[in-house]
Structures are given as structure tokens and as C-alpha cells.
Structure 1
Amino acid sequence: MTGSIAVVGAGTILSGDWQSPIIKDADTVITRDGIITAVGRRQDLLAEIDASSHVVDAKGTTLAPGLIDSHCHVVIGDYTPRQKTVDFLASYVHGGITSVVSPGEIHAPGRPSTAIGVKALAIAAKECFDNFHPNGMTVHAGAVVLEPTLQEKDFADLQEAGVHLAKFGFGRYMDPADGVDQVRWAKEHGITVMCHSGGASIPGSKPITPKHLLLLAPHVCGHLNGGPTSLDEAGVDLIMDETDMALQLVQAGNLRSAVRIINRAADKGMFERVVIGSDTPTGTGVMPLGVMKTVAELSSLSDVDPALVWAAATGNNARVWDLPAGFIAPGRAADLVVLDAPWGSTRDDALGALSVGDIPGISAVITGGVVRTLRSRNTPQAARAAEVTPRIEHLEASGH
């Protein structure tokens, strides 16, 4: 049986669901074949624990759904042409990121703009990452970059090939308003459309204003807090109040704007629309702790509880993009992170550490129901570390 794991002894279990972010009266999660099969109390799940090939003892620490980076610039393979770095995705797993969503393979050298080339790139990226999981990560790739050369039939072709992601903002449009047809056709063919917002990010992109966003009506307002330059406050408020777009906050954006947006979303009852990503690797660089750092910043600087912020980086992302992970619940993907306050923190657990802006220490990452790493090579040392029985010796040393 693949991925036959029981995680026991959790002091706190985060659900990933913003409406009920902490699972009460539970300390154990059972996984089978990469899927969570039970969540409950240890004494009620003894038979399932005994039947597991490995038992991960969380030692009273926090068990959480793996982080989902909803804005990660993959291309093909675990390599970023933008920063010329290899194995960056494998390293992101050590930062608690177990899934990423591509906002378009825009960093591909010589990226095509013809309809056939645009489709080929998206389909190739999707199919490659369907078969390739760096350090066990799930990569939702193959986001078609919308170009004026694309016609309605092209979106039917993409849908048939299983492409379900699109990005607007890097095509060769004289005016972003000219992309209305492509956005509409993508949506009609079941493709989730993310749109650039704010100032230009790289050569070839253009500023996209609130007026453009209202006209284009994508599903997701990409990096509403800036990628890296944010819209002004009036424009942000317009998007929040007059649309139902997902409101993406990223590490590579404007922190002041992100704090204001998440506070306002919570105050106005629209927290379910807040999603978190890193928007790396870009000029900000390769950041294995990019999503964790955003969670810590928003947990400590905003008025929002850390468990809710974690949900914005997990379950909210899963709902917007219809992903299998993001929640600790039966039937969801067994992508889990065990974490605690780091050595030297003034707080006693992971949520407390996040509330004061400390990066928690990760002591185990599980993806697809398989233990991928124990002591993280990127976070500080966890004050209390998970233990696995039987031992997985090749993971016990730091840096693996």
C-alpha cells in the first residue's frame, strides 16, 4: 500500500478551511494511497494506526495542510531560466510548499506568441509536470498565456488537452482592453483565468488598471498587492467591492498594500476571496520560504488570526483553482506539514510564532502520503521535532 501513514500526537490541527480553521478534538490523521482517510482522536483510530507502514509522532506540535503557492513561475523541469537556478521546486518543499500553480510559463526563453506555439507550450508544460513531481510536489502547470492570435477554436483545443489555467497580461496586445474575447473564450471552455494587475513587471508586460480588470473580468486578480507595483487604494477597493474576483496577495508585492487588503477583506466579509502566492522566481528571486514568510508577515502585521491566514494559503487556493490538496479532511490529498515554534522564539507553538512574525520550524513534510523530508533545510530548527517509526534514516540528516 502506497503512502500508508498515520500522523499522531498533534497538539493543533489546522483544517485549511477559513470558516473553521482549527479541527477540534483531533490529534491524528490517517492516510492511505496518498489520500486522507480519517481525522480524529488517537484512541478512536488505533486499528488504522497499527495498520500503517509508518507512524509520524508530531510530539504535541502543529499539523497543517501543505502550503499552496498560487503564483509560482515554473517553465519545464525543476529549473528557473529567470534566476538560472536548478532544484528550486524541491527546495520549496522544504519551505512547506507542497503544491504550486503556474501563472503562465512566461519565462521560457524565446516564448512564442503564435497560436500554435502558445498552445504547444501550455500543453507541453502541463503534460511534463503531470509526470514530474520535484521532491513529491504537485505542480499545476500549463497556463496558456493569452495572446491576440488565439481564436475560439484554440480554447476548445486547449480544453480537450486538459489545460485549465490561463494568464492575461503578457500577450502582445496594444491595449489590454483588446483581450476581452480571449478571456471570455477561456472562461467558456472551463479555464481559470488569472490577470496581471498594477504596474508592469517585466519587459513585454503593461500596466493593467482597475478599468481594464472590470472589463476583462478574470477569475483571479493576480497580485492585487503588486507584482511588484500595487494599484492605488481606490483601485483596490473598486476591485474588492465591485467584482467577485479572487484577491491574490504575494510575497513579491507591496507588503503595506497586502496588510490593508487582508484586513479589509476580513472586515467586509470577503475573506474567502483572499488567496496567497509568492510570485517567484521573479526579480525577487528564488524564495523557498516565500509563502511562509507572507503568512508570517500577514499574521503578525494584520488583524487576522494566523490560522485564517494559513487557510488563505491553502484551502482558499484549493477552492479557487479546484485543487485536490489544501484541506485536512477525508478524501483530500495527503499533503501535510508538521511544524512548531523555532528554537529561540518567544512563543510556544507554530501559531504563536506566526503571530509575532517568526518563521516556524518544519520537522516533517508529507506529500502524496509519503514523508519527503524531516528536518527542513530552509526553516529554523523546530523546538519540538516529529519522530517517525520505523525510522527513515536517509531523511534524518539535515539537508535531505
Structure 2
Amino acid sequence: MSKVLLKNIGTIVSGDIAKPLLQGDAIYIEDGKIAKVGSLADFGEIVCDCVIDCNGTTVTPGLIDSHCHTILGDYTSRQNQAGYLESELHGGVTTMISAGEVHLKGRPKDPAGTKALAILAAKSFNNFRPGGAKVQGGSVILEKGLVRADFEEMAREGVRAVGEIGLGSIKNPEEAGPMVKWAKEFGMTVMMHTGGTSIPGSSTVTAQMVQDTDPDVASHVNGGPTAASLAEVEKLINETEIALEIVHCGNPLMTSEVAKLCVEKKVLHRIIIGNDAPSGTGVVPLGILRVINHLASLTPVTAAQAIAMASGNTARVHKLDTGKVQEGLWADLVIMDAPMGSVGTDALSAIEAGDIPGVSMILVDGKMVVSKSRNTPPVTRMPFVVE
């Protein structure tokens, strides 16, 4: 059984929006899961296979990209680029969630093909971790002709989500409603396109359409890339309990306005963060960190709260056993610090100053998968493995 200790931690970010910072300077990991969090002086005698001295830096949960348009493997036909998922891992993202394999060339749109693609992608990514990152693939795109038995089979075979409604032939609440109920019955999380039309074949979706369909997630309320109005978002806030997704490939003004409104309405627990890439905006390895920076530097949201939106909040909505620095959860962790030259003195103050933090080490299931990020700036202080 692998035993790993992270010690000399300067700040522990919990991923819990209700209590975003934890007291302590150490995290102990056994067999890939977090076993203890707190002060090393209180841990008593422990035996370790690996000790990481964090050198006074910050430890956060691994970030979760709530909106990634995967296909199969670490390749995007949308931008004809290989290795984009591993590259996102180097931005601190340890879990990516498919919003539908819509970019697959020749994507089948009949019920049998749609179901087969979702099952194939789910099983494929269950066996494949690009660079060590976890990918929840196979979010089914709703097409005409799917029946309750199809959702039962897909759920049994590992499909855990419905991709954003509006990308397939099912676009209105009357058609989507029964399928949403079937999906939820079998434990799937349901996403729905919100706002203006994104690509040919998609559709404009209003707040009322989202309400009538009743998904779990209103995808990219700040635009994908065209945003709904602030009044539309306020309607979703006031009249539903649906999760509100903010994405990098959206409208930057609405990113700020939605966040400010959510602070005012005291609903920060409902915000989750995604990339919505690959898209026309491109492949954005640091997209999740950039949204965190945007929120923490331009709105009343703190850096620790923004990190929770990109970790614990998303894990709750998608029923993941990660996303927080909490005993019993998988040890998906990021060690980060202020980048060299930043006005910030640590990762959180750098983020609130608008600077991308430097990512030094990343652990997935307690195993180090990145020893130095190739995409973020170099850190001021570097953690090290104790010999």
C-alpha cells in the first residue's frame, strides 16, 4: 500500500465553498486516498514511502473541467490537435468531463449509433488517462428515437452524463423532458446548452426552455460563446436550483456580471467552471486557471472560493469522489505558488492580483503525474521530494 506525506504546506485550499481554507500544514495519503489532513504534529507516528516537502506553498484539490468536448483518445478533430488533454493536466486540471462527443467525424445520429458512441467513449476513457488525468467520457447526445431502456443500458455500461442538450436533434423541452427524467432516474447528470447558437446545428436556448427541461447544469451561462442576458441568468438563479456553469470560451463581461450577481444572491455553491474547448476559441490548456483568475481579480469572489467552484462544486454536481481535500476522497492534488515576479506572495494572492499561479507538482490518486508544469510560469518556491 502506497503511503505519501505532503508536509510544510503554507496554505491548504479545501475545495469546499462553505469553508474554502483549512487549518494545517500536512496531508497524509494511503493507497491513493486522503487519510489525514491537519497539523503534522498531531499525526503521530506514520510510515511513508514518499515525503514531499511543499516548502511553504499552497495545496489545492485537482481542478475539474466541467465542459470538455472530447472524442476518442487525446485528439481533437475540431482543432486537429493531439495531446490537448495532457496539456490541460499541466494547467492543474486532474479531471475533465465530456459535454458530448459532438466533434467526432461522422458522428452517428441514430439511436443505436448514439448509444454505442456514448458507451464506447465512456469505457475507452475509463481505461485511458492522458498524462495521468481522469476523463469522464461518453456524455450521450440526445437524438430522436432514444427510449428508456437505452438510458438504463447506457448507465449500466458506465455512461454518467447527458451532453449539453441542444447539440443533437432533440432541442425543445417537449422532446427532451422524458429523456431527462430517464437519465436522472438512472443516476446521470444532465447538461443543457444555454444562450445563443454556438455552431451550425445547435440552437438558441432561453432560460424558460432550461426551466421546462429541468437539467442539472445550465451550461455556459456566460456564453458558449454568445451569452444569455443577465436577466435570463437571474431568472435561473431565482426560480431554479440548477448549477450555473461559467466557461473560458464565453463572454468575459458576462463572466464578471454573473459572478457579481451570484455573490449578491448568495449562490456561489451553484457555480461550476469549464473550458468549453476544443471550440472555435481553440484549445486552452490554462482555461480553468484563467477563469479562476478572472473571478478572483475582477469580482468579489476570493481565490479560494473560485478554486472551490472549479473543484468541489463540480464534484458535487457530477457525483465524483474527488474535488476536495477531505479524508476518504481520492488524493487528486495540485501544489502551486506565486509565479516568479508576481506582486503576490503566494498562489492565492497572485491569483487575486490577476496572475496565473505557477503549478509545481500534481498528484492523481496520490501518485505524482507532473513534477513541473510545462504550461504555467515558474514558481517562486519549489517543493521537493525528501530523500
User: Are residue 124 (structure 1) and residue 123 (structure 2) matched?
Assistant: no
2:57 to 61, 67, 74: 61
Pick the aligned partner of 2:101 from 96, 105, 117: 105
Deviations 1:154-208 (A, max 9, x none): 1121122121200211111474643222222212222110000111111111111
CA displacement, residues 120-159 of structure 1 (integer Å, 9 cap, x when unaligned) = 0000001011111111111111101011221122112112
Q: CA deviation at 1:332?
A: 0.8
Residue pair 1:147, 1:182 contacting (<8 A) in 2 also: no
Letter in 2 for 1:214: Q
Partner of 2:324: 327
Instruction: Determine helix, strand or coil for the equivalent of 2:334.
Output: strand
Aligned residue for 1:371, secondary structure, equals strand
1:233 to 219, 230, 243: 230
- Which one-letter code corresponds to 1:108 in the other structure? L
CA distance, structure 1, for counterparts of residue 344 and residue 152 of structure 2: 53
Residue 94 (structure 1) aligned with residue 90 (structure 2): yes
CA distance in 2, matches of 1:277, 1:171: 20
Question: Per the alignment, in what secondary structure is the counterpart of residue 145 of structure 1?
Answer: coil
Q: Partner residue of 2:278?
A: 281
CA distance in 2, matches of 1:362, 1:162: 32
Q: 1:130-169 counterparts in 2 under 5 A?
A: 130-167=126-163, 168-169=165-166
**2:353 matched to which residue of 1?**
356
The answer for the alignment partner of 2:36 in structure 1 is: 38
In the other structure, the counterpart of 1:242 is 239
CA distance in 2, matches of 1:226, 1:184: 26
Residue in structure 2 matching 1:183, options 171, 174, 180: 180
- Aligned positions of 1:321-400 closer than 5 A: 321-390=318-387
Counterpart for residue 21 of structure 1: 20
CA separation in 2, counterparts of 1:376 and 1:46?
A: 33
Percent of aligned positions that are identical: 42
Secondary structure, aligned partner of 1:144: coil
Aligned residues, how many?
386
CA distance in 1, matches of 2:79, 2:231: 34
Instruction: Report how far residue 34 of structure 1 moved.
Output: 1.1
Separation in 2, partners of 1:174, 1:308: 34
Which secondary structure state, in structure 1, belongs to the residue aligned with residue 269 of structure 2? Answer: helix
Q: Corresponding residue for 1:398?
A: none
Q: How far off its partner does 1:45 sit?
A: 2.6
Q: 1:210 aligned to 2:207?
A: yes
Structure 1 unaligned segments of length 5 or more: list them. Answer: 391-400
Unaligned 5+ segments in structure 2 are none
Paired position in structure 2 for 1:312: 309
TM-superposed deviation, 1:80:
1.0
Distance 1:117 1:143 in 2: 13
- Asked whether the 8 Å contact 2:61–2:323 carries over to 1, the reply is yes
Q: Which runs of 4+ in 1 moved over 3 A?
A: 173-177
> Paired residue for 1:198?
195
> Is the 8 Å Cα contact of residues 148 and 182 (structure 1) preserved in structure 2?
no
Name the TM-score, length of structure 1 as normaliser: 0.94
Q: What amino acid does structure 1 have at the position aligned with 2:34?
A: I
Task: Report SS of the residue matched to 2:140.
Answer: strand
Q: Could you tell me how far 1:350 is from its partner in structure 2? A: 0.5
Q: Offset of 1:374 from its aligned partner?
A: 1.7
Quote the Cα distance in structure 2 between the aligned partners of 1:197 and 1:282: 16
What displacement does 1:46 show?
Answer: 5.3
Of residues 238, 250, 265, the one that matches 2:262 is 265
Distance 1:174 1:135 in 2: 36
Give, in whole Å, the separation in 1 of the partners of 2:181 and 2:327.
35
User: TM-score when scaled to structure 2?
Assistant: 0.97
**Cα deviations by residue, 1:56-83 (Å, 9 ceiling, x for unpaired):** 1110010110100000111111111111
2 CA distance for matches of 1:30 and 1:169? 44
**Do the aligned residues in 2 keep the contact of 1:136 with 1:368 (CA within 8 Å)?**
no
Q: Matched residues in 2 for 1:174 and 1:380: separation?
A: 42
Deviation track 1:90-112 (CA, whole Å, cap 9, x = no partner) reads 11111000001110111111111
Deviations 1:234-288 (A, max 9, x none): 1111111111100000000111111111221122121111111111111111111
Q: Give the conservation status (yes or no) of the 8 Å contact 1:225–1:258.
A: yes
Q: Partner letter of residue 267 of structure 1?
A: E
